[in-house]
């Protein structure tokens, strides 16, 4: 991995909601598309998720996001993290989500993160920036942000078919607590 240079971290703003939706969709690997496929009636999942991110005050919300940018302002990556007690579908997504799709994903939502942890909802690196340490920089920032808020541990869900993410988490001391089929 080559070293990253001149990557700036900044807190997200409301205008970043569409970008954060792209990050959440990429990290979710089809989760939101599945939840919203029947319910959005012509509205794309990215639009529904961006609207939810812009409107929410907790959990999946622009207020809980960090962006990694190059000096010219190009977004290199993003992370969304918050107190695990806020782990749930945002009201807008829950209202729009197909009940059958919610039932399909019940095993995932049943394995809630420990409420005394800081929850990493999504982390995403732009494909052009992958392999340069942007993900590690964002993960370290999330862990530090959680500690600043009084959380001594960070939790997350990760798809088992994402070896790059799993390697990153293992490199920072994360261990699997449960496996969901």
0.85 cut: is pTM over it?
yes
Find the mean pLDDT for residues 145-165. 92
For 121, the token pair is: 């909802």
Q: Among all chains, which residue has been given the structure tokens 């078919």?
A: 161
* Residue 107 clears pLDDT 70, i.e. is over it: yes
- Looking at residue 154, its pLDDT comes to 96
- Looking at residue 39, its pLDDT comes to 65
CA distances from 7 to 24, 126, 141 (A): 21, 13, 12
pLDDT in tens, 58-83: 899 999 999 999 988 899 999 999 99
- Looking at residue 122, its pLDDT comes to 93
The helices-and-strands tally (H runs, E runs) of the chain is 8, 5
């Amino acid at each position: 991995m080559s070293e990253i240079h001149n990557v700036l971290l900044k807190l997200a703003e409301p205008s970043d909601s569409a970008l954060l939706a792209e990050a959440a969709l990429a990290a979710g690997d089809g989760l939101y598309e599945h939840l919203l496929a029947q319910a959005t009636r012509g509205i794309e999942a990215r639009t529904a998720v961006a609207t939810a991110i812009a409107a929410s005050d907790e959990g999946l919300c622009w207020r809980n996001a960090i962006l990694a940018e190059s000096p010219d302002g190009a977004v290199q990556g993003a992370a969304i993290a918050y107190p695990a007690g806020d782990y749930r579908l945002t009201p807008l997504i829950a209202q729009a989500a197909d009940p059958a799709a919610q039932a399909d994903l019940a095993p995932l939502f049943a394995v809630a993160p420990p409420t005394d942890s800081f929850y990493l909802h999504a982390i995403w690196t732009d494909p052009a920036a992958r392999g340069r340490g942007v993900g590690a920089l964002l993960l370290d920032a999330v862990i530090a942000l959680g500690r600043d808020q009084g959380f001594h541990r960070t939790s997350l869900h990760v798809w088992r078919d994402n070896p790059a993410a799993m390697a990153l988490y293992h490199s920072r001391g994360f261990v699997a607590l449960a496996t969901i089929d």
